[in-house]
């Protein structure tokens, strides 16, 4: 198999995404994760932009990376400087990275309107910059910025810039589709022309996603002969983002037969994707190909029935190949096959009559406003109840919630919970940041004496949905809660005309699921 070199630019291009700001510690954690994933290159950042970037390179050198080379990124020299005095080039050298990535202008419009120098001067700038970095011992990747737009407007000049970089010793020509507006068919045609002309060096591709073609264009470039692919984890990047390596890597490996990263590393892809979302403090889109939570989620009863007979019927790969998992969604649209598949996956039972009873319960509850797609813990408790295997861990006597504003103007929420465990009554009062937080705190405190593992739990998400908004203040409220402990995360649901009661129902399911799974 031919090797495709994967170049990750999450730590530079990815940071240009709106709402993303990685701390130095964040960048180091991501670099370690990328190295464990096995990418060939990690672009550490714009060396001359700020002190944090430079500090990253200093600290990254201490990480002992095993699989990835760190690349320092910067511009070719300024028109009014020499290579010896240029701040960007010498900042890269100061990073002491084995790889220098230089971005040079290939579109005549940018040369005349942005650099404000002659076309010949820009060619000289690119050549001298590459030659200088090669003389210092760096592997040089020449990022040919706006190459495809430049080629379409002035192909002769765009190729002249590439030739100057090659003659100066560039190891890789990374053709940049910077504006993201070129279609894959054009990328293929232009890349092929470059590969045919510059066969002595590696040709690469760097795409942005402004026309939603970044992944397709990257694959088209590979088909045309590119053997170096740049992108970011989850497609993070400026404007609409960069080419998504979480899609590109499995496509290259499983669909196109290239050697990318090892298969055992590809199994870490979902983990790496979610890790970066977590560090970026962003909610992952559930419908991302390969690594999204919904990538292998099945809801239609017809599909699930077919999947139970042969997994290839509605899945293009085994989800475990990318570290994801198959999910069977339960809703009023489900058939018995969905419930049976769910029971089989949980090793609970394989009983069509039981599945029929559970489905009937699900449909009745969803008519009331329940939804179990993101509340699998509530579904498992429902199954236990239908099977007659449910045993409550506590008995509620009453709860009470108050909200008041004190003399300083601060809103204070207080909840009291009185419940019984066995023959012992426990009555606890707790404050919280809001009524639900106070109620959750009181519930946990009232149970910790009996079930110490309660201390491991904490809420990670809380969602509220009004089911019938036309009913105004009497509308039904659905609350979905996500809870985490040291090794698991689960969702529960509660429905009521009262938002506090709906929250209580979801909280109780969350607590009981935790206690149930710990007792198994």
pLDDT in tens, 407-424: 777 888 999 999 999 889
Phi, psi of 74 (to 5 degrees): -170, 180
Q: Which two tokens stand for residue 202?
A: 């590696």
Q: Residues spanned by CATH 3.30.160.270 within the chain?
A: 395-519
Instruction: Specify the CATH number of the domain 395-519.
Output: 3.30.160.270
335 pLDDT more than 60: no
**Cα angle: 266, vertex 268, 270; to 5 degrees:** 100
pLDDT digits (tens, 9 = 90+) for 25-55: 889 999 999 999 999 999 998 887 778 788 9
pLDDT band at 192 (very low <50, low <70, confident <90, very high): very high
Smallest CA-to-CA distance from 90 within 61, 62, 129, 51 is with 129
Smallest CA-to-CA distance from 437 within 418, 460, 413, 456 is with 413
Dihedral angle sign, alpha carbons of residues 345, 348, 353, 357: negative
Q: Residues spanned by CATH 3.20.20.70 within the chain?
A: 5-280
Cα–Cα distance measured from residue 139 to residue 69, given in angstroms and rounded to the nearest whole number: 10
The domain 5-280 having CATH identifier 3.20.20.70: the answer here is: yes
Q: What does DSSP assign to residue 335?
A: -
pLDDT digits (tens, 9 = 90+) for 344-388: 665 555 667 777 787 778 778 877 888 776 788 898 898 888 888
Helices within 254-311 (DSSP H only): 263-266, 269-280, 301-309
The number of residues making up the chain comes to 520
Residue environment code for 231-255, b if the CB has 16+ CB neighbours within 10 A, otherwise e: bbbbbbbbeebbbbbbbbbbbbbbe
Q: What percent of the chain has pLDDT over 90?
A: 60
Give the model's pLDDT for residue 293.
81
What is the arithmetic mean of pLDDT over 114-139?
94
pLDDT band at 396 (very low <50, low <70, confident <90, very high): very high
495 pLDDT more than 90: yes
Helix (H) or strand (E) holding 396: strand 395-405
């Amino acid at each position: 198999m031919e090797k495709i070199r994967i170049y990750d630019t999450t730590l530079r291009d990815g940071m240009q995404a709106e709402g993303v700001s990685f701390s130095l510690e964040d960048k180091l954690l991501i670099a370690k994760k990328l190295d464990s994933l096995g990418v060939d290159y990690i672009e550490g950042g714009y060396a001359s932009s700020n002190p944090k970037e430079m500090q990253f390179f200093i600290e990254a050198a201490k990480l002992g990376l095993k699989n990835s080379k760190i690349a320092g990124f910067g511009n070719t020299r300024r028109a009014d400087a020499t290579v010896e005095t240029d701040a960007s080039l010498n900042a890269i050298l100061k990073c002491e990275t084995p790889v220098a990535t230089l971005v040079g202008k290939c579109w005549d419009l940018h040369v005349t309107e942005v650099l404000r120098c002659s076309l010949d001067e820009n060619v000289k700038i690119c050549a001298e910059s590459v030659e200088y970095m090669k003389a210092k011992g760096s592997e040089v990747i020449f990022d040919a910025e706006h190459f495809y737009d430049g080629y379409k407007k002035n192909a002769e000049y765009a190729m002249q810039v590439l030739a100057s970089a090659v003659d100066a010793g560039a190891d890789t020509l990374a053709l940049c589709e910077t504006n993201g507006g070129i279609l894959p068919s054009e990328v293929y045609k232009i890349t092929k022309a470059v590969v045919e002309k510059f066969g002595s060096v590696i040709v690469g591709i760097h795409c942005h996603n402004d026309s939603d073609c970044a992944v397709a264009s990257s694959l088209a470039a590979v088909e045309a002969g590119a053997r170096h692919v740049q992108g970011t984890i989850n497609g993070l990047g400026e404007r609409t983002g960069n080419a998504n390596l979480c899609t590109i890597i499995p496509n290259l490996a499983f669909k196109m037969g290239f050697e990318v990263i090892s298969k055992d590393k590809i199994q870490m892809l979902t983990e790496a994707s979610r890790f970066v979302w977590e560090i970026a403090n962003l909610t992952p889109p559930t419908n991302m190909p390969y690594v999204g939570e919904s990538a292998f989620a099945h809801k239609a009863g017809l599909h699930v029935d077919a999947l139970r007979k042969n997994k290839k019927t509605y899945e293009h790969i085994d989800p475990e190949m990318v570290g994801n998992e198959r999910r069977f969604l339960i809703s009023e649209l489900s058939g018995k096959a969905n419930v049976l598949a769910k029971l089989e996956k949980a090793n609970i039972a394989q009983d069509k009559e039981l599945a029929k009873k559970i489905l009937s319960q699900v449909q009745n509850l969803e008519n009331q406003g329940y939804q179990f797609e993101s509340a699998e813990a509530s579904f498992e408790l429902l199954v236990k109840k239908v099977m007659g295997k449910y045993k409550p861990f506590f008995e509620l006597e009453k709860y009470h919630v108050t909200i008041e504003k004190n003399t300083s103007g601060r809103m204070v929420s207080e909840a009291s919970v009185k419940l019984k465990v066995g023959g012992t009554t426990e009555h606890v009062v707790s404050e919280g940041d809001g009524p639900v937080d106070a109620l959750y705190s009181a519930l946990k405190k009232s149970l910790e004496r009996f079930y110490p593992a309660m201390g491991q739990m904490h809420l990670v998400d809380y969602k509220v949905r009004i089911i019938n908004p036309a009913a105004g203040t009497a509308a039904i409220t659905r609350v979905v809660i996500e809870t985490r402990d040291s090794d698991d995360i689960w969702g529960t649901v509660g429905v009521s005309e009262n938002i506090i009661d709906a929250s209580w129902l979801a909280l109780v399911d969350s607590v009981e699921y935790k206690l149930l799974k710990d007792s198994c």
